[in-house]
Amino acid sequence: MGENVRPVLPEAFRGLLAPQAYPHPVAGVDLIETHISWVLLAGEFAYKIKRPVRYPFVDLRAPERRKLLCEEELRLNRRFAPELYLDVCRVVGGGGGARIATDGADGPVLEYAVRMRRFEGKHELDRLLERGEVEPRELERFGGQLAAVHATLPAASPQSPWGRPEELRALMIRNLLECAHASEVFGAAEPVLALRGALEQALSSRADSLAARRAGGRVRECHGDLHSRNIVRLGERLVAFDCLEYEPAFRWIDVADEIAFLASDLTARERPLHAHAFVGGYLERSGDYSACRVLRLYQAHRALVRAKVAALEAATAGQMRRQSLRREHDRLTAHAAKSLAPRTPLLLVMCGLSGSGKTWLARRLAERLGAVQIRSDVERKRRAGLEALARTQSAVAEGLYSSRMSAAVYEDLARAAEDILAGGCSAIVDAACLRRGQRSRFADLAARLGVPSRLVYCEAPVETLRARIDARERDASEAGAAVLDWQLNHFERLLAQEPLEAIRVETTRPEALEALLRQLPSAGCDAPGPARAR
């Protein structure tokens, strides 16, 4: 729930340390104190009371302000974790001392408390990561869940102050300078200051993208503090909690900033596969590929924010804790530098008949290269306003699979690939690409952007294609035997001189992935998986 900091409850509230102060069974009460709250762990519930404190970032001295922020905490967090955040309770006084009010309880109101359902700290994501008890696929699912929540959040109005490029620029430069000043505790101010030029360049080159995203409704009332310590596993899924309720400017942010926060945290914790899975899950569910244009900028900013916090804590920490904070600071500043460094991404375009292993191979390539996979089957459903797993019963080459719809889908794929590549990320277009015109569209894109590219042609015996199609379960693809028969008759086979240089991959071979990796050009990939063969 928070960091233990000299837990002392004022005299007026001491009654809350007694089990009888609660309207439910309680064996004992534990008190935790955070920078702005007292948290009372009582039975199945936790009660958070705002402390009457004042910091540069929040003033909680007024009772009305504390009550408002309790209500805000409930409102904001119920979007992300309704099963955890239950209600706002009255803390009342009287002859028996402070207690949590029931509906008919008498006594003067002393304070208000947010009532939460308790969970064990060992299930928080940072601890799961430390113990190696969470797989990347779980972060991928969480990314999709977060995208679904973001889609329901209110967007900033054009008149609001949130997310303006000029204010973001001032904020990021100011944070870098503050980080450099704080880093003097380690004698490490110069490496931070050395990033200023790259940060200013990134801000200048991304200004139009930042403005376009704001105009497009991507600045929303988000969680605002999405890192691994504010995510917990409940049952079979990860859930975000502890939104930032006290400062609107910290939560009215670009959704790309929100996902960059957790991605940066995971990367700094040396969990790049988890970070890649989280971002990939978010992008596939949301379709917000333009986030890639600004993702690295936001990751650098978030890394420097956390490096500053580590340095500030080190100023008053003991020797062993200071050494740990120094390592954390150095990892974060290195991650910021890497995020700001120029890189040349790679465009890979999959090609092949249904059942040839395109999606299987594209997914593994994306993991190994740190690339973003864009699936035509998913984007086709998105264009029709359908969920990825929806069944349309469209006839072959008709309805959702008509030539007109396919042309529109391939334009969507090209726009998404451009967004990804323009942000310095590698892109994998996972589509059949049966027509030479479709393949030429991506060759033109690669030439215009000046990025290396390859066509990855997946093949397998026809009987294998049929067996794979028959074995599919719960997949975005609707291709059946009739579709494969149609493709066999309409596929425009690869020429000796294709618009994109082609690499043929026999996907039945166990070494198919490793063999392909050896044939790819070197590019600025994040490579979160096993080291690439050169």
409 falls in which pLDDT band (50, 70, 90)? very high
Distance CA 14, CA 110 (A): 12
Distance CA 285, CA 482 (A): 28
What pLDDT is stored for residue 206 in this prediction? Answer: 96
* pLDDT surpassing 50 at residue 13: yes
Torsion angle (degrees, nearest 10) of CA 397, 403, 405, 409: 110
pLDDT tens figures, 201-235: 999 999 999 999 999 999 999 999 999 999 999 99
- Mean per-residue pLDDT for 422-451? 96
497 falls in which pLDDT band (50, 70, 90)? confident
Whether residue 291 contacts residue 333, with contact meaning beta carbons closer than 8 Å, is answered with no
- 347-519, CATH topology level: Rossmann fold (3.40.50)
* pLDDT surpassing 80 at residue 477: yes
pLDDT tens figures, 108-131: 999 999 999 999 999 999 999 999
Q: What percent of the chain has pLDDT over 90?
A: 84
Distance CA 135, CA 277 (A): 9
3-state secondary structure (DSSP) of residue 89: strand
- Mean per-residue pLDDT for 248-264? 96
Residue whose C-alpha is closest to residue 194's, from 177, 213, 208? 177
Residues near 159 by beta carbon (within 8 Å), at least 6 away in sequence: none
Whether residue 50 contacts residue 36, with contact meaning beta carbons closer than 8 Å, is answered with yes
Torsion angle (degrees, nearest 10) of CA 336, 337, 342, 346: -60
Distance CA 387, CA 141 (A): 15
State residue 61 phi and psi, 5-degree precision.
-75, -25
Burial class (CB in 10 A: 0-12, 13-18, 19+), 37: buried
Distance CA 78, CA 331 (A): 34
Residue range(s) of every CATH 3.30.200 domain in the chain: 11-118
pLDDT tens figures, 161-196: 999 999 999 999 999 999 999 999 999 999 999 999
What pLDDT is stored for residue 4 in this prediction? Answer: 42
399 falls in which pLDDT band (50, 70, 90)? confident
Residue range(s) of every CATH 3.40.50.300 domain in the chain: 347-519
Distance CA 129, CA 484 (A): 43
* pLDDT surpassing 80 at residue 527: no
1 falls in which pLDDT band (50, 70, 90)? very low
Whether residue 50 contacts residue 223, with contact meaning beta carbons closer than 8 Å, is answered with no
Whether residue 222 contacts residue 153, with contact meaning beta carbons closer than 8 Å, is answered with yes
Distance CA 379, CA 409 (A): 7
CATH number of 11-118: 3.30.200
pTM for the model stands at: 0.92
Residue range(s) of every CATH 3.90.1200.10 domain in the chain: 125-340
pLDDT tens figures, 98-107: 999 987 667 8
- Mean per-residue pLDDT for 441-445? 97
Distance CA 305, CA 265 (A): 11
Residue whose C-alpha is closest to residue 290's, from 200, 170, 374, 203? 374
- Mean per-residue pLDDT for 65-78? 97
- In the DSSP assignment, the letter for residue 500 is S
* pLDDT surpassing 70 at residue 302: yes
- 125-340, CATH topology level: Aminoglycoside 3'-phosphotransferase; Chain: A, domain 2 (3.90.1200)
What pLDDT is stored for residue 396 in this prediction? Answer: 84
Alpha helices (H) along 122-193? 125-131, 136-150, 165-182, 189-193
